[in-house]
Amino acid sequence: MQNESSIVVVLGTGGTIAGAASEVTDNVGYVAAQRGVAQLLAAVPALAGAPIEAEQIAQLDSKDMTHAVWHTLALRCAHHLARPEVAGIVITHGTDTLEETAWFLQRTLAPARPIVLAAAMRPATALQADGPQNLLDAVTVARTPGARGVTALLAGRLHAAADVRKVHPYRLDAFASGDAGPLGVVEEGVLRRFREWPCEPSLVGAAQLPADAGAWPAVEIVTSHAGASGAIVAALCAAGTRGIVVAATGNGSVHERLERALAAAQDAGVSVWRSTRCLDGRIIDSGDTAFPSAGALTPTKARIELMLRLMAAPSAAQAARSS
């Protein structure tokens, strides 16, 4: 059942879903962010006449996503969610950083109504364009009574912000949710949900984010690998980095030279967290490491989590994610 009278606000940010190529058979040589959100909606006949409002927030390839765009997006989402006539929000987004935007919005908004990110693996000009169906399905989710939290809708599958990750560079079904599995599926205009909606609370409210995104604490990711050294860690510390997430091997192990450099950084006041390079699973702590675990968060989401924790409570930034 859907609320036919409630408004869905669609916020455009660009991405492949808004991309265009010179040939309909070209699925990789396109230019992202060429069509506005109004054009994307016009390409979905089933949405004609629906109570939808559209707003263009940005027009970029999501590989170039910035903190400033995140800030604007969070504020506009908060604005629209404060309107009682709005059932939910859909954000058209590129796939490259979709999982990062989703987690950022969950941890700054923790919305009681749905925010659904819709994306595509093929440009709007493709013979097999997947954007229109994904957009239609996302609107379905945004209008589903009881829906809440930040999710992502691609290839008929609904993923929670905490779990979604891009797992393939090309195929249409390019996203997964790791061990957790998808939150649900949309089948012929109806959401079939498998588990509970996202419920992670906010760390820093959208209105409390520093207005100058350039002033947000710098947090970077380094990777442990064969032959790793600590040179990059020293360079990051010299540049004023306040937090480092190490994408560790296996169950959180770190090359000895990199580990020494990270320990020195931590002693100097830099917050250091461990995540794992492994696509699925989480680090199971053995209790003998100096670097807190990011739990089930991927390195990219752990970077966002640590950045927000540094903004919210600097004294607690060394604490590992407890959930």
Mean pLDDT in residue range 44-49 = 96
**Does residue 24 register a pLDDT over 70?**
yes
**Does residue 179 register a pLDDT over 50?**
yes
Strands 190-193 and 219-223: unpaired
The pLDDT of residue 313? 75
Q: Where in the chain is the domain with CATH 3.40.50.40?
A: 217-316
Mean pLDDT in residue range 256-261 = 97
The pLDDT of residue 191? 98
First to last CA, the chain: 32
Mean pLDDT in residue range 260-272 = 97
Q: Is 303 exposed, middle or buried (0-12, 13-18, 19+ CB in 10 A)?
A: buried
Question: What does the alpha-carbon distance between residue 223 and residue 179 come to, in Å, rounded to a whole number?
Answer: 22
Q: Is 19 exposed, middle or buried (0-12, 13-18, 19+ CB in 10 A)?
A: buried
Entry pTM: 0.95
Confidence category of residue 288, pLDDT binned at 50, 70, 90: low
Confidence category of residue 58, pLDDT binned at 50, 70, 90: very high
Mean pLDDT in residue range 43-52 = 96
CB 242 within 8 A of CB 310: yes
**Catalytic residue, candidates 16, 95, 298, 300:** 16
Which residues neighbour 78 within 8 Å (Cβ) at sequence distance 6 or greater? 109, 205, 206, 207
* DSSP symbols for 293-319: B-TT--HHHHHHHHHHHHHH-GGGTTS
Confidence category of residue 320, pLDDT binned at 50, 70, 90: very low
Confidence category of residue 289, pLDDT binned at 50, 70, 90: confident
Question: What does the alpha-carbon distance between residue 204 and residue 211 come to, in Å, rounded to a whole number?
Answer: 13
CATH code of the domain occupying 7-193 = 3.40.50.1170
Q: What percent of the chain has pLDDT over 70?
A: 95
Q: Where in the chain is the domain with CATH 3.40.50.1170?
A: 7-193
Confidence category of residue 314, pLDDT binned at 50, 70, 90: low
The pLDDT of residue 181? 97
pLDDT one-digit tens code per residue, 123-132? 999 999 999 9
16 noted as active-site residue: yes
Structure tokens that stand for 223 in this block? 């990777």
Topology of domain 217-316, per CATH? Rossmann fold (3.40.50)
